[in-house]
Amino acid sequence: MSSLRDRYAVSGMDSAPAPRRTLRAAISCVGRGLHSGADVSLKLVPAAPGTGISFRRTDLGLDIPARFDHVADTTLCTVLAVPGARIGTIEHLMAALAACGIDDLLIETNAAELPILDGSAAPFVFLIESAGIVEHAGLRERIEILRPVRVESNGAFAELHPHAHPHANAGSGFDLSLDIVFPAPAIGTQSLSLRLTAETFGAELAAARTFTLAGEIAALRQAGLAKGGSLDNAIVVDGEKIMNPTGLRWPDEFVRHKLLDVVGDLALAGAPISGRFIGHCTGHRLNNLLLHALFADAANYRIVGMHAMFQRVAA
Ligand SMILES: [Zn+2]
C-alpha cells in the first residue's frame, strides 16, 4: 500500500489517500434517551473495510445506513429511518466519529434514540479513544467540493465552497465557519471558525453541550418529549440566566455546540468533505438540505479516492 501511496503522491494530486479506519475493539455504554427518558444501550462494533457507518436496531433486527438520504426528521434532533425502524439523536456520535476519522463501524442500539449522556460529544470521543482506532484495508474516499452550494430559510443559510487554492496543501481539509444569533441575552451573537481535525474537535467542540430555552421546556414535555432532559445533559437558558448550577464550559458554548451539530449532520455525506462550510443560524434541517443540494448535481463535487487513484496511476 505504501508504494501505491508514493505513486499517488508523485502523480500530482493534492494529498495522499489515507487508509480506512475502524475501532480496535467493540465498546459499550448505557445512558438515557433525551426524549423517551428510557435507558438505552449503545455498542460500537468494528466493521469490515468499505462497509461505512450504519446503525443496527438490535430490538428490531434492522440496519439503518448513516447517510443523509435516510434522514426522516430534523425537528429536534437528526433522525435516520428505514421502513420499520428509526434512530434519533445521532448527530453527536456522528460528529465524534467524523472527527476521529472512523470510516467503517456498526452502531448497535436497542431503542429509537441514542443515549444523550452529558449532552455533548465528549463521552463518545472517550469511548472511541478507549476502544482504540485501527487502520484496515482499503482507502478512504473524500468528497471534494467543486463549486458553491447554498440552501437558505428565513434568513438562515448553509453553504459549501471549494477551497480557494485546491492544489495547495490546505486543499484536502474541511474548514467550518458558523455564526448564531439568539434573542436570549445569555446567548446573543456568537461566531466560530476552525479547521476540523481530531485535535480541534477534541479541544474546541466535543465538550460543548446541547441547550434549550427555559420557555420551551413545558411545551416539549407536553408533547411527550424531553422526558430524559435535565440540567445534567443540557444547558437551560432563561433570558440572561444560565440555570445550570455549574454554569457554562465556555462563554460561547452555544456556537460550539451548533458547530458540533454541523459536523455530525454533514458526516452523513458518507465520506469526509474537502472544502469550506459557512453557516448562519443553521440547524439540523438546513444541514441536511445542504447535503441534498450538494448531491443533487454531480457538477457540485467529485469523489476522490481509491478508484480515482487507480485511474490516475493507470494513466
Ligand atoms: Zn446537538
CA gap 43, 11 in Å, rounded: 41
Alpha helices in the chain (DSSP H): 2-10, 91-99, 122-131, 198-200, 214-222, 253-266, 284-295, 306-314
pLDDT at residue number 297: 98
In the chain, pLDDT over 90 holds for what percent of residues? Answer: 80
Q: What is the mean pLDDT of the chain?
A: 90
Measured in angstroms, how far is the CA atom of residue 16 from the centroid of ligand 1? Answer: 32
pLDDT at residue number 146: 96
Helix (H, G, I), strand (E, B) or coil at 274: strand
In the chain, pLDDT over 70 holds for what percent of residues? Answer: 90
Only one residue has cell 425537528, namely 75
pLDDT at residue number 207: 98
For residues 271-276, give the mean pLDDT: 96
Confidence of residue 11 (pLDDT cuts 50, 70, 90): very low
Measured in angstroms, how far is the CA atom of residue 209 from the centroid of ligand 1? Answer: 7
* Angle, helix 306-314 to helix 2-10, in steps of 10 degrees: 70
**Of the candidates 26, 44, 8, 264, the residue with the CA atom closest to the CA atom of residue 139:** 8
Give the per-residue SS3 of 93-148.
Answer: HHHHHHHCCCCCEEEEECCCECECCCCCCHHHHHHHHHHCEEEEEEECCEEEECCC
Measured in angstroms, how far is the CA atom of residue 117 from the centroid of ligand 1? Answer: 12
Measured in angstroms, how far is the CA atom of residue 257 from the centroid of ligand 1? Answer: 6
Measured in angstroms, how far is the CA atom of residue 14 from the centroid of ligand 1? Answer: 33
Please indicate whether residue 163 is annotated as part of the active site: no
pTM exceeds cut of 0.85: yes
Look at 35-39, 174-178, 290-294, 308-312 and tell me which has the smallest mean pLDDT. 308-312
* pLDDT 10s digits, 235-258: 999 999 999 999 999 999 999 999
Tell me if 209 sits within 8 A of 231, measured CB to CB.
no
Enumerate residues with CB within 5 Å of ligand 1 (an ion). Answer: 210, 261
Strands 27-32 and 39-46 come out as antiparallel
Of 167, 280, 284, 292, the active-site residue reads 284
* pLDDT 10s digits, 172-212: 799 999 999 999 999 999 999 999 999 999 999 999 999 99
Examine the pLDDT at 285 and tell me if it is beyond 60. Answer: yes
In this structure, what C-alpha cell is assigned to residue 171?
486543499
pLDDT at residue number 172: 77
CA gap 6, 29 in Å, rounded: 40
CA gap 262, 92 in Å, rounded: 10
pLDDT at residue number 309: 43
pLDDT at residue number 186: 96
Measured in angstroms, how far is the CA atom of residue 315 from the centroid of ligand 1? Answer: 45
pLDDT at residue number 306: 52
For residues 82-103, give the mean pLDDT: 97
Q: 208: which residues sit within 8 A by CB, 6+ positions away? A: 120, 121, 249, 250, 253, 254, 256, 257, 259, 260
